[in-house]
Amino acid sequence: MKRAFIVFFGPPGSGKGTQAKMVAEELGLVQISTGELFRQHLAEQTPLGHQAQEYISRGALVPDEITIGMVRQRLQQPDCATGAIFDGFPRTGEQAAALDELLAELDAELCMVIDFTLPLEVSRARLLGRQEGRVDDRPEVIEKRLSDHAQVEASVMPHYRAKPGLVKTVNADRPIEAIFADVLALARSCLE
């Protein structure tokens, strides 16, 4: 069977995490959400959680070394053998380069990058309306995460846009089901 490794890229509040979860379940892939992994480490108070806490609570990126190490470990688990959806990773040029290397070690490569687009105002409204009790869902931290996203995009997307046909854009300013239909069809094409 074919393996599929796909990056879901988009601003906070774009719904990429929700879609990654739904698509991963539907296609039997693993969702690798670096934000979720960090939140698990925080909740379990692991050494890695302690290292990451300070950055996450002020909406800053966790240093590449920590983040990349965590993804490397996750990718070594046997459940990643059929593929994975990366959600919230990569967020820097170094992470993007590291992901290529990690996949090459598995004798695999990225099939697709799905770019979730939506207006800044919509992201902001969604984040302000979200009540998940996350340490970084305070208004001033939300503003930082939103404004930092432009920098994240400028660091990551040129790496992928350089590869013709790799990036697919999805309008994320629509109902969950409509987005899901498009994203699922795209992801499925990686397994054909």
Catalytic residue numbers read 16, 91, 130, 134, 145
Q: Does 62 bind ligand ADP (CB under 6 A)?
A: yes
Q: Which residue stretch of 52-60, 96-104, 116-124, 154-162 sits at the interface with ligand ADP (rule: CB under 6 A)? A: 52-60
The H or E element spanning position 4 is strand 4-9
What is the closest distance, in whole angstroms, from the C-beta atom of residue 90 to ligand ADP in the complex? 6
What is the closest distance, in whole angstroms, from the C-beta atom of residue 2 to ligand ADP in the complex? 26
Torsion, Cα 60 50 95 102, to 10 degrees, reads: -170
Q: Does 126 bind ligand ADP (CB under 6 A)?
A: no
Q: 12: which residues sit within 8 A by CB, 6+ positions away?
A: 123, 127, 142, 145, 146, 149
Q: Which residue stretch of 18-26, 90-98, 102-110, 167-175 sits at the interface with ligand ADP (rule: CB under 6 A)? A: 90-98
Residue 22: DSSP 8-state = H
Q: 104: which residues sit within 8 A by CB, 6+ positions away?
A: none
Query: With contact defined as beta carbons under 8 Å apart, do 87 and 33 qualify?
Result: yes
Q: Does 83 bind ligand ADP (CB under 6 A)?
A: no
| Contact positions vs ligand ADP (CB under 6 A) | 12, 34-35, 38, 55-56, 59-62, 67, 88-91, 95, 136, 145
